Amino acid sequence: MIVSSDPEYKATKRIKRGTARLAPPFDELAAWISSNWRVTVLNVIYDPSNELHPPRLQVILEHQKDADSFFDGFNFNEEKQEAIASRFLEIVNRQPTHGYDADGLFVVFSAFAPIARQEADEKISEEQIEALKRRIGNRDLWVITRSFGHVTFMFFTDAQAKAYAAAGKREEYARKYFEILKPNDEFRYLSEKDFVVNFDSKQNFDDNYESNWYYYYK
């Protein structure tokens, strides 16, 4: 689960909304994980094995801090993976004909809230962005660019970006952007006091990224 168009995200959003429920045996496993590690599990998805991966359990937690608790550095915590896989086997083996392939079962973890915040930003139209740019009315502002929920106000020169940041415009523009973002915050994950924007420049974009958005966001 990486972006809001992923089917895992859409399925989890239905559960979060209350229009769908987690079915057995995953509801029991989710409750066990939540209780054992004091986290909020929204969804558990079983993926059969294919040419890319062995059978897999996707544990989708609500918040990033919860998902982070199942990592050791950049890797998943193996003890927690094994404990969850073992518990899943205990649950499904109550029914000898359960049909789940658990040979080499691999458990992965992700978080729902960060993608929901990204989706809120994706719902802002380019027309709204252009209207915001006109409302700000700063001739030194080149473009407002976005990627994965990160917002950057691009000025023409490095000097302009630094000067406007020093003048407190970063906070002012963050407030203005948040005004059009907040109506899309379906699950109330966004906070104005924690919302920040970046300032950068076309000069930096041209000189160090070959005027290429792919390189800039890579």
pLDDT in tens, 112-153: 999 999 999 999 999 999 999 999 999 999 999 999 889 999
107 Cβ contact partners less than 8 Å away, ≥ 6 residues apart: 56, 57, 59, 76, 80, 81, 84, 85
**What letter does residue 189 receive in the DSSP assignment?**
-
Q: pLDDT-based confidence at 98, cuts 50/70/90? A: confident
Which pLDDT does position 99 carry in this prediction?
A: 86
Mean pLDDT over 10-28 rounds to 96
- Count other C-beta atoms under 10 Å from residue 195's C-beta: 16
pLDDT more than 90, % of the chain: 89
Q: 53-62, 72-81, 93-102 — which is least confidently predicted?
A: 93-102
Phi/psi-derived region of residue 148, left when phi > 0, alpha when psi is between -120 and 50, beta in every other case: left
CA distance 174 to 176: 5
Q: pLDDT-based confidence at 159, cuts 50/70/90? A: very high
Mean pLDDT over 172-197 rounds to 96
CATH node for 7-111 = 3.30.300
